[in-house]
Every structure is written in structure tokens, then in C-alpha cells.
Amino acid sequence: MKKLLVAMCSLALLALSAHAADGDVKKEGGDKPKKPELTAEQKAVKKELTDKYDANKDGKLDKDERAKMSDEDKAKWKAAFPSKKKAEGEAKSEAPKADAPKADAPK
């Protein structure tokens, strides 16, 4: 009985040390994916529009500041920084749904 208890405790300690070692690797590699570098065009557009609309001078455009952008500047921003969420949504809407009824199918 004692041998079984010692063996189980040893395995538990071994598992904990292996798990702790995995955690160290994750911290070094980072949990979040690295953001892609901005192109020269994106940097120029960001600087131009931030200088123009950043009322509180924090270096970022908040929701109210973006709302005050002209339509021309909004289009310029969207061209430089296409939204990943919208691109994914468009791709999903273009693909036919598997459970959707087909128009050609007989009823």
C-alpha cells in the first residue's frame, strides 16, 4: 500500500513539474499573437488622421473622435485598415449555408 502511495505521489509531482515547464515556454513565446507591422502607407494615414482628429491628444482615436471624421477620411481609414471581422463576415455570407433549402430542389 505504501509503495502505491509513494508511486502516485511521485507521478503527481512529475506531472506538476512538466506542467510548470510548459507554462514557462508559453510565457516566453507570449500568449497573444503578435500584431503585424504597419506599412508605410498605414503609418502615414494613421498619423495624418490622428493629428487631425485626436482632440484629447492621447495618440489614439476614441469612439467620439472617429464619429467626427468626415466621410472622405473614414473611407481613407477603411482603405488603409480593412476590418478583419467584416472580411470574415463577408466570406461567410458569400458561402451557401449547408442547412439552407435550395431553390432548385423539389419539395
Q: Would 61 be classed as within a structural domain?
A: yes
Per-residue pLDDT of the chain (107 residues; tens, 9 = 90+): 888 878 777 777 777 676 665 554 444 556 777 888 889 999 999 999 999 999 998 998 899 998 999 999 999 999 998 876 655 555 555 555 555 555 555 55
Could you tell me the pTM of the whole model?
Answer: 0.48
- Whether 88 is covered by a domain: the verdict is yes
Residue 53 forms part of a structural domain: yes
Distance between CA atoms of residues 77 and 67, nearest Å: 12
Q: Is residue 84 part of a domain?
A: yes
The b-or-e profile of 57-79 (16+ CB within 10 A means b, else e) is: eeeebeeebeeebeeebeeebee
Q: How many domains does the chain have?
A: 1
Q: Let me know the angle formed at the C-alpha of 61 by 56 and 65, rounded to the nearest 5 degrees.
A: 75
**Domain ranges, residue 43:** 39-94
Residue 30 lies in a domain: no
Q: What is the pLDDT of residue 40?
A: 93
Question: Distance (Å, rounded) from C-alpha 88 to C-alpha 12?
Answer: 44
Asked if the structure places residue 32 within a domain, the reply is no
